[in-house]
Amino acid sequence: MPDRRQPDSSTDDNPFAAPPEGRPDEPWQPRGVTGAGGPGGPGQDPSPEGPARWDPTDPLQRRARYAVFAGMWGFFFGFFGIPSVGLLLGALALYWGVSALRAGVDNLGPAARPQRTAAISGLVTATLALLLAASSYAVQLAYKDFYVCRDDALTRTAELKCNTLLPDNPIGKILKVRQ
């Protein structure tokens, strides 16, 4: 088997390698603290307003992500007919989105662009979820007599007679009990 080539010590970037001949040992430090290319190490953007990294301990990033996910799921629950869960998730998404925007996402400058986008997306989806939940409750309140009649009907013919309580409009045609 041929001998393996040894890497040139001037280009070796192994943090665990022994120091070159003639240099004393130095205590280990993470690459973000020291490096040849600036604060981020070689090849990294040395500007403090570089791209923001995902940090699960940062409350601003967490709130922005929570706003997106809660708003999205609130919209889905509202759309598929579970308005109480949609209302809860929409309210939470609205709270998290507003708190992420107010708590300093704007103070970070261009580095916070993904978090700002996530917070605004969370606000949009939260608003949609709240509108779906509110419209569902409004329809149930406006056509309460129909829903009570339909739920109390013991036979199919009694359930069909509840259609007389609906108005002749598109919503009434959607809610109408089919034969």
- pLDDT in the model for residue 155: 92
Task: Report which residue type is found at 65.
Answer: R
- pLDDT in the model for residue 17: 75
Residue 99 tokens, joined:
């708190």
- pLDDT in the model for residue 55: 74
- pLDDT in the model for residue 38: 45
Whether the CB-CB separation of 27 and 34 falls below 8 Å is answered with no
Mean pLDDT, each 10-residue run in order, the chain (179 residues): 57 70 78 49 48 72 92 94 94 94 67 82 95 93 91 92 89 84
- pLDDT in the model for residue 46: 45
Q: Please return the burial class of 131, using the count of CB atoms within 10 Å of its CB with bins 0-12, 13-18 and 19+.
A: middle
- pLDDT in the model for residue 135: 93
- pLDDT in the model for residue 171: 83
User: pTM higher than 0.85, yes or no?
Assistant: no
